[in-house]
Amino acid sequence: MQVPFAKPTFSGHEGEVVAAVIASGWVSQGPKVAEFEQRFADLVGAEAAVAVSNCTTALALALYAEGVGPGDEVIVPSLSFIATANAVWTLGATPVFADIDPMTYNLDAEATRRAITPQTKAIMPVHQVGLPADMDAFFALADEHGLAIVEDAACAIGASYKGARIGGLGPSACFSLHPRKVITTGEGGMITTQDAAKADRMRKLRQHAMDLSDLARHSATGVVFEGYPERGFNYRMTDMQAALGLCQLDALPGILAERTRLAERYNDAFAGVPYLETPYTPEHTERTWQSYAIRVRPGAPVGRTELMELLLAEGVPTRRGVMAIHHEGAYPGVTADLAHTDAAAADVLMLPLFADLTDEQQDHVIDRVLAHTAALAA
Ligand SMILES: Cc1ncc(COP(=O)(O)O)c(C=O)c1O
């Protein structure tokens, strides 16, 4: 049996919905984008949402709106997709890496405190693979040091922290709508914020800081001229993407429930298996199962990469766990103590997980993992 690693979930009517947008003639930055923003904000309990071209631009725009620029430092985990650091770099600022909590794999608040310097402007906790970071600790740290918080919630749509949905909690959070995420618009990103004025500025900044929206310009009855009071970017989302996003929001509760059911089947199957560590979820969090990651414990007779090779040969593709950015040539010379990050990057692998994964396919994955881990234990 050949099991896919990941697949987006579509219900089949999305093509018609997108075609209707094309037939309407309004294909970018129009009514569907506004509707998608409102539904997204309502879903997570945010004051407002701003749709952009992807999560990397969302992070850059949210940091820019906080005043981050050349010479500033932003503290981020190294254990993240490289976009987390690249978003900081695009502003001429410096990503400063701090270590993770080895239980949650999320940025550690005490390690973050140690990384603060007079140049630090912001902290960017990542809700890694959908598990909320310990936000209370980061809010306290930011208050104490006068720092901005921008959450990298790329994988965390639907997740909650102490009863509040991610996106409705902190000053701003950025989501990805890439096909590897729980819902997708092909490419796309969303910034949620609790500050309507900041949302308004970010909507302008995503469109070269034009002071008149396309919606306002098209509905004007007289002659109007737009102005550009500051410099901005082109981070626009199309209405075809937004229409697809609206379909995906309809499907989201079912997708989240199915991913949770499948993740729990993995948890049950692997509980107590020697050398394997299943994901840890702190009590006060509800995670989005964007990925299912297991750790091959140190001391196991077969390492993570060898296990990945054995599984691949049996029709079970896997991926390494979250990368360590400071191991890449793009970010050389990092001297910080990132011991937990180094260990996680070496030991973790991700198993197939998507809402349309069948029980039969998942049973094959479980069977193969158990076969190899039984061999490990022998
Ligand atoms: C943690 C994290 N941040 C940012 C991104 C960037 O998202 P996008 O591809 O939408 O720019 C990703 C995408 O994988 C991610 O996993």
Give the atom of ligand 1 at the shortest distance from the alpha carbon of 80.
1
Instruction: List, for residues 81-126, the tens digit of each pLDDT value.
Output: 999 999 999 999 999 999 999 999 999 999 999 999 999 999 999 9
Give the atom of ligand 1 at the shortest distance from the alpha carbon of 58.
11
Cα gap 32→28, rounded to integer Å: 9
Instruction: List, for residues 211-255, the tens digit of each pLDDT value.
Output: 998 888 888 899 999 999 999 999 999 999 999 999 999 999 999
Catalytic residue among 32, 181, 198, 204: 181
Question: Which CATH number is 14-248 given?
Answer: 3.40.640.10
pLDDT of amino acid 148: 98
Task: Please enumerate, as own/partner, the contacts of 253-256 that have beta carbons within 8 Å and a separation of 24 or more.
Answer: 254/355, 255/9, 255/182, 255/183, 255/355, 256/158, 256/182, 256/288, 256/289
Q: Ligand 1 within 6 A of 77 CB?
A: no
Cα gap 278→105, rounded to integer Å: 12
Ligand 1 center from residue 181 Cα (angstroms)? 9
pLDDT of amino acid 173: 98
Cα gap 277→369, rounded to integer Å: 12
- Going by pLDDT thresholds of 50, 70 and 90, the confidence category of residue 50 is very high
Domains 14-248 and 251-377 share a fold: no
Ligand 1 atom 8 nearest Cα: 55
- Domain ranges for the chain, please list them: 14-248, 251-377
Nearest to 133 by CA among 110, 157, 166, 111: 166
Residue 377 pLDDT > 90? no
Exposed e or buried b per residue across 224-238, where buried means at least 16 C-beta atoms within 10 angstroms of its C-beta: eeeeeeeebbebbbb
The fold of 251-377 is Aspartate Aminotransferase, domain 1 (3.90.1150)
Ligand 1 center from residue 154 Cα (angstroms)? 5
- Going by pLDDT thresholds of 50, 70 and 90, the confidence category of residue 373 is confident
pLDDT of amino acid 375: 57
Beta-bridge partners for 49: 192
Q: Ligand 1 within 6 A of 178 CB?
A: yes
Choosing from 74, 76, 78, 81 the residue with most ligand 1 atoms within 8 A of its CB, the one to mutate for a pocket test is: 81
Task: Kindly list the distances between the CA atom of residue 325 and the CA atoms of 61, 67, 274, 342, in Å, as whole numbers in the listed order.
Answer: 21, 24, 29, 10
pLDDT of amino acid 196: 97
Ligand 1 center from residue 19 Cα (angstroms)? 28
Sheet of 348-351, strand order: 276-277, 292-296, 348-351, 319-320
Nearest to 293 by CA among 3, 6, 2: 6
Nearest 5 degrees, angle CA 124-CA 126-CA 130?
A: 155
Q: Is 162 one of the catalytic residues?
A: no
